Amino acid sequence: MARARVMDQGPTAVRRGEFLVYEASADRGIGSIWQWGASDTYKDKLIIGQDPVVSVAAVAVKAFDFSEYSTAADYSTIHFVDGFMAVDSNSILQLPYSEDSADLVTCTETVDDTALTVTSLEDDIDGGFIYIVSGPGAGNLFAITASASGEATLDTDVNSVGDGDDLTTSSKFIKILPTKHPLAEVDASAGDIKSTAAAGSTTVVVEANYIQFGKGELHDLRKFTQMVAMYVGTDVTFYADIRITG
């Protein structure tokens, strides 16, 4: 399973592994993203990242099993917990793009050329990509050469790649954000990036994107594709290096 990783802690991150944690009820996995609490009671304690994620503070490097921390001396939900890597707004995190069905964008009409029209699609995603996860066109990767609100222009006709399928309302895709893009939909609990047609809610800086075939090495996406559409298959994972600036 692909998980968030810390690539660079940044110069100001507090380098320690044990934190006070407030977690109301749930287990959290490796790669989950945590922030400082907002209220005076919890401002020095980690809480799971909210939507949008702000004041990023740590990434879990081991699973948090809530049942192991069901009691404590002061509050029943506050605990000293190790297994975190401290981060801050200067840190670079590498997050996978989720390919779960619930986290994908669905085509809202048939596409048989380069014109992709999707309700509420955000503007300013030129230089990004779409990757078709399921449905007609699955396994195809397209570069975005131009965009406007609700529409994007792809680098080649969709039916000239792979099996030659048009995209239909059964085609679901991930939206791979261009470098320096300022917004993403970060799922703190899962430690990944969800695709939404509209702009994400977390303020970020996208530093780079990567493609991984199976369990192989990561390739810089722009260099690998030269910004040209191609069939890459379905056993691939995409990642982004981002800074969560809050």
pLDDT in tens, the chain (246 residues): 677 888 877 766 655 567 888 776 678 889 999 888 877 777 888 888 888 887 788 998 888 877 776 544 444 456 677 788 888 888 999 999 999 999 999 999 999 999 999 999 999 999 999 999 999 999 999 999 999 999 999 999 999 999 999 999 999 999 999 999 999 999 998 899 999 999 999 999 999 999 999 999 999 999 999 999 999 999 999 999 999 987
Three-state SS for 149-217 is: CCEEEECCCHHHCCCCCCECCCCEEEEECCCCCCEEEEECCCCEEECCCCCCCEEEEEEEEEEEECCCC
pTM, entire model: 0.91
Q: Residue 52, preceding bond cis, omega within 30 degrees? A: yes
